[in-house]
Amino acid sequence: MVRLNNDLTRRLTLGAMMIALYIILLAVTVYVPLIGLVTVYFVPLPIVWYSAKYSRSSSIYVAVISIIMSILIGGIGSLPLAFLQVPLGLVLGDAIRRKQSKLYMFMATGLTILITIVLEYIAMVKFFNVNIVAEVLAKAREFFNYTLSLMDQLGQLDKKTEQAAHQMFTLFESSVPAGVILSAFFLALIYLLLYPPILRRLGIEVPKFENFTEMKLPKSVLWYYLLVLLLMLTNPEPGTFLFMVTVNASIILRMLLFIQGIAFIHYVIHEYKWPVWATVIATIVAFPLQGFVVMLGIFDLGFNIRSFVSNSTRK
C-alpha cells in the first residue's frame, strides 16, 4: 500500500513538473519572438517524456491539464499551438512507451500533426469565419494579376506566356493539399530527429533509426506512381476533383521517390567509402537534378541495383 502511494505521489509530482515545464516553453514561444522560433520545437517534449514513462490514462490527464493551463497563460490565441503540440507529445510518447517501430512513430506523428491542422482549419472557418488558405491564395492571385499586367505594359506578355502562367498558377492552387501533407510529415521528421537523443539522456529507451542508406520504401509506391501517371495522360480538366487528386498524388509520390533516390546515392557513397563531404555535395546537387534522382529512386525500388553496387565494391 505504501509502495502504491509512493508511486502515485511520484507520478503526480512529475506530472506537475512536466506541466510547469510545458507552460514555460509555451510562454517563451508565445511571448518571446526570436527565442520562440527555437523553443516552439521543444514545447511537446515534457508531454513526450511523461507519456513515454507512464500509462496512457495518466498521460491524458496531464495533457488535458496542459491545454487548460495553456488558455490561462497564453489566452485563446495559444490554443492552436496547444492543440497541435499536446496531442503530438501524447501520441509520440505513447508510441515510445509501447516500443513501436520507427516507421509507426513517424506515421503516427505525421498523421497527428496533419489531422490537427485540418481540424483547426475547419474550426477557424466554421466558428471564426477565417479561411487562411483562401486569404493567402487571394493575395497570391492579386500579386499574380499585377505581375501579368506589369508584363503586359512592358510589352513582354503574349498569349502563350499568359496561358502558361495561368496553368502554373492553377497548378499551384491545386497543390495546396500536397504542400500541407508534406509539411506535416517534414515537421514530424524534425521532431523524430530532435527528441530521441534528448530522451535517451533523460533515461527513456528510444529505438534507434536505421541508417538512411538502408532506407527502402514499399514497392507499392511504384504502382501508385504508375497509376497517377496513367491518370495524368487523360489530361483531367484543371480545377476538377480528378485534377486535384492527380496533381497532389504526383507531388507526394515524386517527393518520396526523390528521397529514395537520395538514399541510393548515399548508399553508393557509403559502399565506396567516399568521404563525408562527398555525401553533402551529392545531396545539394540532387535538388537541381531532381528528375534524374527520381529515376534513380524508381530503379532502386523496382530493380535490385544495390546488389550491383555491393558486388562491384567487393571486387
In angstroms, the Cα distances linking 274 to 43, 258, 270, 297 are 39, 22, 6, 21
Q: What is the pLDDT of residues 221-277, one digit of tens each?
A: 888 888 888 888 888 877 777 778 888 888 888 888 998 889 888 888 888 888 888
- For the chain, list the domains and their CATH numbers: 1-128+181-206 (1.10.1760), 210-315 (no CATH)
Confidence at residue 236, expressed as pLDDT on a 0 to 100 scale: 80
Indicate if the pLDDT at residue 161 is higher than 70: yes
Share of the chain above pLDDT 70, in %: 95
Write down the pLDDT at residue 48. Answer: 93
Q: pLDDT tier at 215 (50, 70, 90 boundaries)?
A: confident
Return the pLDDT at 92.
Answer: 92
CA within 13 Å, CB half, 272: 15
Quote the pLDDT of residue 3: 56
Question: In the prediction, which pLDDT does 157 show?
Answer: 67
Contacts of 257 (CB under 8 A, 6+ apart): 217, 221, 225, 294, 297, 298, 301
Residue 45 is predicted with a pLDDT of 92
Average pLDDT over residues 24-42: 88
Residue 172 has pLDDT above 60, yes or no: yes
Cα–Cα distance list, 286 to 42, 228, 301 (Å): 31, 23, 18
With contact defined as beta carbons under 8 Å apart, do 62 and 18 qualify? yes
Tens-place pLDDT, residues 191-209? 988 898 888 888 888 877 7
Arithmetic mean of pLDDT over the chain: 84
pLDDT of residue 315: 57
Cell of 140: 497570391
Which of 241 and 82 is assigned the larger pLDDT? Answer: 82
> Vertex 230, ends 229 and 233: CA angle to 5°?
90
| CA–CA dist 22, 42 (Å, integer) | 9
d(CA 6, CA 274): 55
The total number of residues written for the chain in this structure: 315
Mean pLDDT of 91-115: 87
Q: How confident is the model at residue 162 (pLDDT cuts 50, 70, 90)?
A: confident
Name the pTM for this structure: 0.81
